[in-house]
Structure 1
Amino acid sequence: MFERFTVAARGTVVQAREEAAALRHGHVGTEHLLLGMLGQADDPSTQVLVDAGLDLATARAAVVRLLGSGDDAQALAAIGVDLDAVREAVEAAFGEGALDGPAKGEERRGRGWFKAGGRSPFTPRAKKTLELSLRESIRLGSGHIAVGHLLLGLLREGRGLGARVIADHGLDFAAVRRAVEARLTESAG
């Protein structure tokens, strides 16, 4: 799928990882994908959000407000997730140390965009957003996946923190969708 990504769309994913690392989040979620999109300031689809007042700094502040920055345990506790209870349940089901990762010296499995040694993993909603961006590209008859398709995928997924940041900013998903589709059509023609 990633071979279809434009340079700017790839830049979005790279920046999403960088945003997650800078905020010291142990995952790459839809909120980080949104920040990565907004980091592509010259992209016409990103301009739809920027023109509505949702720029990178504003979105980053919203993400920090929702998740905090720093330790994942703090962020998850803020939304009511008890990591000790999660660890206990996982270890009861899969054995002690099941969440500790590969033993030192073991080769880690998984390559590419979703799993790579030392890189933050994509959340299921972020993965779904990337999948939906491909579907949006196909639906619009594009031969590639651009930043606009990523934004359409984020809107279509609709339940991640990236979508919440957009909604909390007072933007109507249907209006954003129409504007982004128009920008994609203009750039294709």
Structure 2
Amino acid sequence: MFERFTVHARGVVTGAVEHASRAGSPVVTEEHLLLALLDREGTKAAFALASLGVTDRRAELIEALAAARRRGGLSKADTAALSELGISVEEIVARVEQTHGPGALADAPRGKAWPSGRPSFTKESKKVLERALRIALARKQKHIGDEHLLLAVAAGVGVVGEVLAEFGGTYGGVEGVLSLRAA
């Protein structure tokens, strides 16, 4: 599959590995892929993120991802559902952090690094790469570009896709901007 990746898509994957390494993570997560996409300049994904205003709100987006990690990876939808049952996630987080320290629920990503020490990819991040391939094939394109990776992250369910959508990077929005650029 990686032979189909463009130079820009390979740059995203390399950037995600670097983000994981800098964070001391043994694995590359969807969050690392998103951060690497935000690092790109002069590419289709960078154009889409800038056009949607996501790039300008990078710091806020990173804070939202950190807040989700602090909630133990619960999405806002999960938090709202629990709230309807009378369970306050914020209260639980506060109590746990009071007892065990800040970020106690921010579980480190699970997985093992390669024997070389290089981070491996989580099941979820591998799904993003597979989804990017399916998106490219559905568009009858023979390559996988960083735009396909961005669409794959935006199409994902879970915290990273939710946070990206919250900051304007919905699948439909990304697709719309990319189709305008292609026209």
Q: Normalising by the residue count of structure 1, what TM-score does the alignment of the two structures yield?
A: 0.66
Distance 2:154 2:21 in 1: 24
Count of residue pairs the alignment pairs up: 151
- Spell out structure 1 runs of 4+ moving beyond 4 A: 74-77
Moved more, 54-63 or 6-15: 54-63
**Structure 2 residue 167 is matched with structure 1 residue 169:** yes
**Structure 2 residue 28 is matched with structure 1 residue 28:** yes
User: Where does residue 95 of structure 1 map in the other structure?
Assistant: none
Contact 2:129/2:149 (<8 A) preserved: yes
Q: Any gaps of 5 or more consecutive residues in structure 1? A: 69-73, 87-98, 102-113
Deviation sequence 1:67-108 (CA, Å, 0-9, x none): 37xxxxx998425x699xx9xxxxxxxxxxxx9x7xxxxxxx
User: Where does residue 139 of structure 1 map in the other structure?
Assistant: 138
User: Where does residue 107 of structure 1 map in the other structure?
Assistant: none
Q: Any gaps of 5 or more consecutive residues in structure 2? A: 71-100
1:127: Cα distance to partner?
A: 0.3
Q: 1:129 to 1:38 in 2, by over 3 A?
A: same
User: Where does residue 39 of structure 2 map in the other structure?
Assistant: 39
1:35: Cα distance to partner?
A: 1.0
Give runs of aligned pairs for residues 76-155 of structure 1, distance below 5 A: 77-79=104-106, 115=114, 117-155=116-154
**Structure 2 residue 157 is matched with structure 1 residue 159:** yes
**Structure 2 residue 8 is matched with structure 1 residue 8:** yes
Q: What percent of counterpart residues are identical?
A: 32
User: Where does residue 64 of structure 1 map in the other structure?
Assistant: 66
Deviation sequence 1:43-72 (CA, Å, 0-9, x none): 12222222222225444343334337xxxx
Contact 1:32/1:162 (<8 A) preserved: no
Distance 2:147 2:178 in 1: 6
Q: 1:11 to 1:82 in 2, by over 3 A?
A: closer
Distance 2:108 2:117 in 1: 24
Distance 1:9 1:49 in 2: 15
1:29: Cα distance to partner?
A: 1.0
Provide the secondary structure at the position in 2 that maps to 1:67.
Answer: helix
